[in-house]
Amino acid sequence: MIGLIAALIVAQVPPVTTIRVPPRQDTDAQACARIRKIAEDTTRELPIMVDAITRTDGMSVICALRTVTFNKSILVDIGQFREGWADRIQSQWNQTICKNGAFAPLQKRGWRFAQNMSFKSGERFTYDATCK
C-alpha cells in the first residue's frame, strides 16, 4: 500500500525544468553606474590592510575610458620580494578579475582593470588584467 501511495505522489510531481539565464549584458553606461557604486562603497572603508605588507588605498573608475583602477601600497622595499614576484602578481591579478562574474565580461568587452602598486622603496608598477 505504501508503495502505491508513493507511486501516486511521484506521478503527480511535474518534472523539474532547468531555466538557463543568459549572462547580464549591461551597456557600458549601466556597467559604469554599477562599478561606480562599488567604488563609492569600497572607498568609504579604505585604506585597509589586506595582509601584513599590503594596503589597499583606493579604487577609481573613469567611464569615458572604460577603466577601473585599484591602488595598493606595498609597505616594504622591493628588494624583499623573491625572484619571479612580478609574474606571480600578474597571474593573481588576472585570476582576480577573470573569475569575477561582474568584471570578467567587461574586461572581455574592452574595459581595462588596472592594479597600481607602489613600494616603500619608491618603485611603481601597473598590472592590467588579461582574460583568455
Q: Is residue 19 domain-resident?
A: no
**Total number of domains constituting the chain:** 1
Q: Which residue has the higher pLDDT, 108 or 22?
A: 108
CATH number of the domain bearing residue 85: 3.30.300.250
Q: Is residue 42 domain-resident?
A: yes
Residue 8, Cβ density class (10 Å: 0-12 exposed, 13-18 middle, ≥19 buried): exposed
**Phi and psi at residue 95, to the nearest 5°:** -65, -40
pLDDT tens for 27-76 read 999 999 999 999 999 999 999 999 999 999 999 999 999 999 999 999 99
Q: What is the pLDDT of residue 40?
A: 95
- Asked whether the predicted pLDDT for residue 17 surpasses 70, the reply is no
State the residue range of the domain holding 33. Answer: 24-128
3-state secondary structure of 30: helix
Q: What is the pLDDT of residue 59?
A: 96
pLDDT tens for 65-124 read 999 999 999 999 999 999 999 999 999 999 999 999 989 999 999 999 999 999 999 999
